[in-house]
């Protein structure tokens, strides 16, 4: 099963090929993906959609192992729902994910060679775009907008997920997404490894080079 949720419409597809065709045609805000599809897997479909856009993604699966949940979240999924589930739960989960679509007061934060633009939802390092999922962008923007401040994994869970990731384990969930952000930044430029610092036994801090000045536009 594959569902596309739009602002005022819902459409569906029974296989991955049709799903991608609808995806390109409708440009959805959010997709709901089943783990098992006749011609592909929800995992690969999620990766492909995240490669094309920053669409929000929720995964439905009968797999309850934590490693499977982390695998999907690493692929860009914003939530993971184990079967069986009720439609009321699905509706609430969708509502929680879509709450992340919020305007922000500050548009662009610049630290010399690194810039993050909330209006365009882009992060650039040495003028090269770092391709982030919607959730990864939100995490990076939050940390960058509080440069120099240390945040525990529990605090980041509350700020980013609003405390809704208990089933997966908040410590691992936060760490997985931070690791993905670092990996993507390093792929763009090796200096990307220096921005997000790990505070051992506690959490993370955004810390640009010491001589860098912060500008907000």
Give residue-wise pLDDT tens across range 40-65. Answer: 888 888 888 877 777 888 988 888 88
CATH label of the domain that carries residue 193: 1.10.10.10
pLDDT reported for residue 100:
67
CATH label of the domain that carries residue 54: 3.40.50.2300
Which has more pLDDT, 129 or 118? 129
pLDDT reported for residue 168:
47
Q: Highest-confidence range of 69-78, 91-100, 178-187, by mean pLDDT?
A: 178-187
Number of compact structural domains in the chain: 2
Last residue of a domain, one of 98, 120, 143: 98
Split at pLDDT 50, 70, 90, the class of 170 is: low
**Whole-number Å distance between alpha carbons of 126 and 101:** 27
Tell me, yes or no, whether 103 lies in a domain.
no
Domain span at 28? 2-98
Q: With pLDDT > 90 as the criterion, what percentage of the chain qualifies?
A: 8
Tell me, yes or no, whether 125 lies in a domain.
yes
Tell me, yes or no, whether 197 lies in a domain.
yes
Split at pLDDT 50, 70, 90, the class of 68 is: confident
Tell me: pLDDT of 79 over 70: yes
Tell me, yes or no, whether 64 lies in a domain.
yes
Same structural domain, 181 and 81:
no
State the chain's mean pLDDT as an integer.
80
Same structural domain, 187 and 94:
no
**Whole-number Å distance between alpha carbons of 101 and 151:** 22
Tell me: pLDDT of 162 over 80: no
Split at pLDDT 50, 70, 90, the class of 6 is: very low
For 34, the enclosing helix (H) or strand (E) is: strand 30-34
The mean per-residue pLDDT over the stretch 30-35 comes to 88
Same structural domain, 57 and 141:
no
Which has more pLDDT, 101 or 39? 39
Cβ neighbours of 8 (radius 10 Å): 4
Same structural domain, 81 and 121:
no
Same structural domain, 134 and 212:
yes
Same structural domain, 39 and 121:
no
pLDDT reported for residue 178:
92
Give the Å distances, CA to CA, from 19 to 12, 30, 35, 137.
7, 13, 13, 25
Split at pLDDT 50, 70, 90, the class of 3 is: low
Same structural domain, 165 and 201:
yes
């Amino acid at each position: 099963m594959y569902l596309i949720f739009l602002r005022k419409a819902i459409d569906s597809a029974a296989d991955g090929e049709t799903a991608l065709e609808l995806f390109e045609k409708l440009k959805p805000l959010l997709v709901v993906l089943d783990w098992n599809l006749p011609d592909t897997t929800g995992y690969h479909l999620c990766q492909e959609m995240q490669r094309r856009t920053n669409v929000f993604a929720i995964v439905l699966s009968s797999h309850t192992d934590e490693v499977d949940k982390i695998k999907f979240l690493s692929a860009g999924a914003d939530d993971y729902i184990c079967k069986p589930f009720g439609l009321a739960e699905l509706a609430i989960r969708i509502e929680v994910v879509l709450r992340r679509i919020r305007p922000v007061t500050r548009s662009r934060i610049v630290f010399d060679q690194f810039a993050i633009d909330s209006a365009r939802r882009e992060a650039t390092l040495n003028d090269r775009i770092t391709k982030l999922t919607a959730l990864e962008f939100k995490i990076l923007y939050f940390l960058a907008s509080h440069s120099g401040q240390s945040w525990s994994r529990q605090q980041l869970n509350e700020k980013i997920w609003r405390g809704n990731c208990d089933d997966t384990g908040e410590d691992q969930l936060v760490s997985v997404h931070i690791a993905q952000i670092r990996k993507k930044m390093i792929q763009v430029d090796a200096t990307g490894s220096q921005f997000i610092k790990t505070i051992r036994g506690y959490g993370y801090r955004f810390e640009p080079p010491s001589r860098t000045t912060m500008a907000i536009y």
